[in-house]
Amino acid sequence: MTDTALSQTARTASQREMTLRGFILGALITVVFTASNVYLGLKIGLTVASSIPAAVISMSVLRAMGGSTILENNMVQTQASAAGTLSCVFVSLPCMIMIGYWQHFPYLETTLLTLAGGMTGVLFTVPLRRAMVTNSDLPYPEGVAAAEILKAGSESGSPESLRALLTGGVLSALVTFATGGLRLLADSAAITATWGGAIFRASTGFSLALLGAGYLVGIAGGLAMLIGTIIAWDVAVPILSAQLPNPAHLPAAGFATQIWTQKVRFLGAGTIAIAAIWTLAVLARPVAAGIRDMMRAHGSADEDGRDLTPRTLLLLTGLCLAILFVLFISFQSPFAHGSAIVSAALAAVAFCALFGFLVAAACGYMAGIVGSSSSPLSGIAIIAIVLVASFMLLLEPLGVLPAEMSANGHHLAIAFALYILSAIVASSAISNDNLQDLKTGQLVGASPWRQQVALLVGCVSGAIVIPPVLELLYQAYGFVGAMPHPGMNPDHALPAPQPALLTTIAQGIFQHQLDWTMILIGIALGVVLIAADLLLRRVGGAMPPLAVGIGLYLPPAVSVTLAIGAIIGWACTRHARQSEGGVSTMLASGFIVGESLTGVLLAGIAGATGRDDALAILPEASTVPSILGTLVFIAICLWFGHKIRRA
């Protein structure tokens, strides 16, 4: 059945789609996912996907209330997904505390900055929908999984598909609880070898959600990420480890990880940057065609093809940019004076508008390849802070910025750059998730414009919740290097890894101490990868350069596990044709569902107890979890491959 036919069938069954109870339920779910994601992000630098758990919770609650439809459930998960994703501002907002500019998170200022940035992420992706969702063959793994879950939970869902979803979900939940809760199973395995001074390291994760996502991603994206991992850990790390000193006398594994964190990830950031620019150039024509189609569809009675009207987009975008302009003025006014604060605010708004739209397309494309959860948002944040800081340094001699920006080691300029970054991160996070949600809506027959309204509402509810959550966590634990009260135990402080890194980069650029070497090498590598992809496409192959950059940047526990899922899917289906809604797809979706829901549960336990090992039953030094984790993961991979072949 085509997507259009499915849309008409779903809407004929019931017109209930955008409801008051749905908005209220979505707002309540928002509180749970936002709090858990902010805590996890500051604790370990990762978040849990909110779209799929929100869909499961919505189906359960609305079915109990009676009269629910697949379209109404989709609206709830769309709203909750947007709000949960907006919590990714944990990457940048704590930077203001770490540099000493803020002593707490001011509620109104933080809310408006997050809201305006997030809403621009929605608005920037609306013109991209036709080119990147409707007329694209990108896999959108999490969007497809969420759609399959909604279909399986609807009245017309087949028992076989529902059983497959439940089987995958229960299995994944049990493994995740044994891994992240009981610590009975390890979540990864690694082997380290040395040859002379060079260190080689191979590792993989045991996440079933990533295994399922890799199956949905497909072989091209999976292999590209694997190639990126091999370049990082079997080429770059050995070369650098043989050349760089190890003054702290770290063990081989620790030294290799340090090199990857401090050097090779910047190589990946440079590759992502040039690959993203190339991707935008390739997308320019289809995006322009999509915008033309959107203008022609304005006023059409066809719900399936109608977005928010161009007038609405312009008005809302203008309002968001006006809010940002006022915030940028008020940020400078206590410390700077004169007309320069207006010109600096205008320059910042222009940067947010232009770079925000480009990032929306790049993030949407990355999410289409590997899914929202695996898309390297922190890599985009690194690129953004490098560009923002460099942009401000270019404007400084032109007199566009207030003179006070240069005083005290550029302290105000560093704070202003990080402030601008927070708006860009909010926009990037939402655009990273929105096209995934719109893909789900396309597959279940949702109205695009109604779904876009739900995304905007999600931004509002998320922006309201995020500031008090940040403030609560800061006052309760503090951040490493930034404690709110004297006498607090620094061992209990939240590490906040991404904010610490972004603060270091911003200070390094303004104080001319940043090492550009790895970023420039990454850009050169990206050019080579683009050429290789063009050559492969001439013979029917593909190696998406953006996916290779993602593999360079992400931990191997993510990239390799995704690649394993993709290889299993390719090996077991290369001689067969399989429908999108088959048992294998439902099993893969179930893997994502089970781990996502259990991840939220474990995040809640960690937040309540202040410990992420509250349920652990084995000592940390035990080797039993590594052995059991490896055996269980291999067994599940074999079982999954067997199920795919039978399907």
Per the DSSP assignment, residues forming a β-bridge with 494 are: 479
Alpha-carbon span 213 to 282, nearest angstrom = 25
Please measure the distance between the N-terminal and C-terminal CA atoms of the chain and give it in whole angstroms: 19
pLDDT tens readout for residues 575-612 = 555 444 467 777 887 787 777 677 767 766 766 776 66
DSSP state, residue 620: T
* Cα–Cα separations (whole angstroms), residue 195 to 137, 201, 221, 234, 239: 43, 11, 31, 12, 11
Contact in structure between 105 and 93 (CB atoms under 8 Å): yes
Residue 401's Cβ-side half-sphere holds a number of Cα atoms within 13 Å equal to 20
pLDDT of residue 240: 93
Residue 171's Cβ-side half-sphere holds a number of Cα atoms within 13 Å equal to 26
pLDDT of residue 45: 60
pLDDT of residue 446: 82
For residue 87 the two structure tokens come to: 């919590």
Please choose, from the candidates 143, 8, 33, the residue with its C-alpha nearest in 3D space to the C-alpha of residue 458. Answer: 33
Alpha-carbon span 223 to 218, nearest angstrom = 9
Q: Hey, where are the domains in the chain? A: 3-646
- Per-residue b/e over 217-240, b at no fewer than 16 CB within 10 Å? bbbbbbbbbbbbbbbbbeebbbeb
For residue 141 the two structure tokens come to: 């793994």
Per the DSSP assignment, residues forming a β-bridge with 201 are: 192
Rounded to two decimals, what is the model's pTM?
A: 0.72
Q: DSSP alpha helices (H): ranges in 478-516?
A: 497-510
Neighbours of 405 (CB within 10 A): 26
Q: Any idea which residue has 């052995």 for tokens?
A: 627
pLDDT of residue 47: 62
Return the SS3 of 575.
coil
Per the DSSP assignment, residues forming a β-bridge with 200 are: 193
Low-confidence ranges of the chain (pLDDT < 50): 1-14, 301-303, 578-581
For residue 574 the two structure tokens come to: 């290369």
Return the SS3 of 291.
helix
Spacing of C-alpha 32 from chain mean position: 18
pLDDT of residue 8: 46
pLDDT of residue 301: 44
Alpha-carbon span 73 to 501, nearest angstrom = 38
Q: Report the run of H or E that residue 212 belongs to, with start and end.
A: helix 208-217
**How many residues are present in the chain?**
647
Provide φ and ψ at 193, rounded to 5°: -135, 150
* Cα–Cα separations (whole angstroms), residue 425 to 32, 90, 120: 21, 9, 11
Amino acid 500 reads A
Contact in structure between 146 and 77 (CB atoms under 8 Å): yes
Provide φ and ψ at 201, rounded to 5°: -140, 130
pLDDT of residue 175: 93
Provide φ and ψ at 184, rounded to 5°: -80, -30
The vertex-170 CA angle with 169 and 175, nearest 5°, equals 100
Alpha-carbon span 50 to 10, nearest angstrom = 24
DSSP state, residue 479: B
Contact in structure between 436 and 367 (CB atoms under 8 Å): yes
pLDDT of residue 298: 52
pLDDT of residue 349: 93
